[in-house]
Structure 1
Amino acid sequence: MCHSTDSRPPAPPVQGEVASHEQIELTAADGNRFLAYRAEPAEPNGRCVVILPDVRGLHPFYRDLAVRFAEAGFPTIAIDYFGRTADGGERDDDFDFMTHVNQLTPEGIRADVRAATEELSDRGPVFTVGFCMGGSQSWRQAAEGNGLAGGIGFYGALRFIDPPQDGPGAPLLLLRGGADTVSTPEEFEAYEATLDRVGTEHETHVYEGAPHSFFDRSYGEWAEACQDAWKRILSFTERHAQPR
């Protein structure tokens, strides 16, 4: 798992006011009802974010991260993956997440991401931002198009997805820790070669020596990497703020 219960996301370079934030329920096209957390900026920047968490779903870290993105001007929804198999309880350290992860399907994740995307789509182009399992799912959703303007992933676990079969889909931003062992450099080399083959625009940045889950303000030694990652997200979303 990626973050402890007391982990908290780093702040964006410029922090604005947050108009509201609250837990909500969304309904996917297949009728699945699932938890989500929505945060609204006081001054929207014209771009939106759907957060795809790690294997634990709507963990407290990702509710806080939705607020951080709202501080940066993004109307944001962080989703939970487990509406089809789990109740609406807390996704804390007592939650048996792997029982539910093993029941996830690509179709279910796609439907839930689409529901969150459509909830935000009248506010501006929508980008996914994911972590670990959610990082690779973010790349997958955007590479397939799905009405997204782009997909951003931190230390994505490539074992959770199949490589794209066609393209180009939407642009991708891959943010990796150099000391992360969840996916190997060889796996990333093969994945990026596939992206090249199908014509998916992508950019990668590796933070040398950084571990899995470095995007955490409790990791003081990686504060500079966290700020650089924020700047890359802001630049990427500004450059690609057109839905595909």
Structure 2
Amino acid sequence: MGETIKLKSGFDGFELGAYHVQPGDARRGGLVLIQEIFGVTDHIRELADSFADEGYEVIAPSLYDRLEPGFEADYSQEAVAKGVRYSQETPWDQVAGDLQAAVDALKPPVFVTGFCWGGAATWLAACRCTGLSAASAFYGRRISEQKDETPKVPIILHFGKTDASIPPVRIDEIAAAHPDIPIHMYDAGHGFVSDRRADYDADCARLARLRTLALFANNGGGRSSV
């Protein structure tokens, strides 16, 4: 359904790949969709396609291309270890520059969402990128590392109550630093949006998606009464 395009990073001029898909019907806006540690996988592409069905032109940048072009991991222990290592070797300033290139490639209004490591990158984009209208971050463990930065656009956060990888203290730190930001807690674990993960929860995934679409709709991406 989509195609591969190239983006020129505002960080260093590097050209990275991205999955790009046009909306299936009337356009509601643009959406930057940020990968998990596993890269731009079939799951990320399916999510992009599903948001396109909702009326969004979607770009999912391949943020590990400097380390391994087209990186796309499975869920094996070895792949997870590589994905974690790549996330640690990818500096936030670079990520911000790459994401700005994705935002700039889309006509407004432009939104951003991301999952796991991409959830933290979503927070980063909301704080540093220009041209965004709203953001929705899913189970971003490393958001707490950036809690001293303040989002410039409306943002909502989604976490699982039984997510062992994100201690409650990290969420409390974010809430204390930004008491005005909505934090939605779900009866689920980490990765509850992905049907490839053991913690997948269809009901929680649907509710979080509805909240995300309502946020986008109420900030320029159409009209909503949700």
TM-score, normalising length: structure 1: 0.79
Structure 1 equivalent of residue 91 of structure 2? 105
Residue identity opposite 2:53 in structure 1: E
Out of 100, 103, 108, which is 1:114 matched to?
A: 100
Q: CA–CA distance in 2 between the matches of 1:79 and 1:152? A: 17
Structure 2 equivalent of residue 13 of structure 1? none
Structure 1 equivalent of residue 184 of structure 2? 205
Q: CA–CA distance in 2 between the matches of 1:92 and 1:58? A: 9
Structure 2 equivalent of residue 135 of structure 1? 119
Q: Which has the higher contact order (CA 8 A, sep 6+)?
A: 1
Q: CA–CA distance in 2 between the matches of 1:190 and 1:28? A: 31
Give the secondary structure class of the aligned counterpart of 2:166.
coil
Q: CA–CA distance in 1 between the matches of 2:173 and 2:6? A: 38
Out of 42, 49, 59, which is 1:67 matched to?
A: 49
Structure 1 pair 222/168, CA: closer, same or farther in 2 (3 Å)? Answer: closer
Structure 1 equivalent of residue 163 of structure 2? 180
Query: Deviations along 1:202-232, whole A, 9 cap, x unmatched?
Result: 2121112x11111134679722212211211
Give the secondary structure class of the aligned counterpart of 2:105.
helix
Could you tell me the percent identity over the aligned residues? 26
Q: CA–CA distance in 2 between the matches of 1:101 and 1:137? A: 10
Query: Deviations along 1:77-123, whole A, 9 cap, x unmatched?
Result: 1111112222x244123763344322211111001100000001x2x
Q: CA–CA distance in 2 between the matches of 1:220 and 1:109? A: 27
Give the secondary structure class of the aligned counterpart of 1:206.
strand
RMSD (Å) for aligned C-alpha atoms: 2.3
Q: CA–CA distance in 2 between the matches of 1:99 and 1:184? A: 21
Structure 2: unaligned runs, 5 residues or longer:
222-226
Bigger mean CA deviation after superposition, 53-62 or 92-101: 92-101
Q: Give how far 1:179 is off.
A: 0.7
1:37 aligns with 2:37: no
Contact 2:8/2:16 (CA < 8 Å) preserved in 1?
Answer: yes
Give the secondary structure class of the aligned counterpart of 1:51.
strand
1:85 aligns with 2:67: yes
Q: CA–CA distance in 1 between the matches of 2:84 and 2:167? A: 22
Contact 2:5/2:19 (CA < 8 Å) preserved in 1?
Answer: yes
Matched residue pairs, number? 214
Q: CA–CA distance in 1 between the matches of 2:103 and 2:70? A: 23
Contact 2:134/2:153 (CA < 8 Å) preserved in 1?
Answer: yes
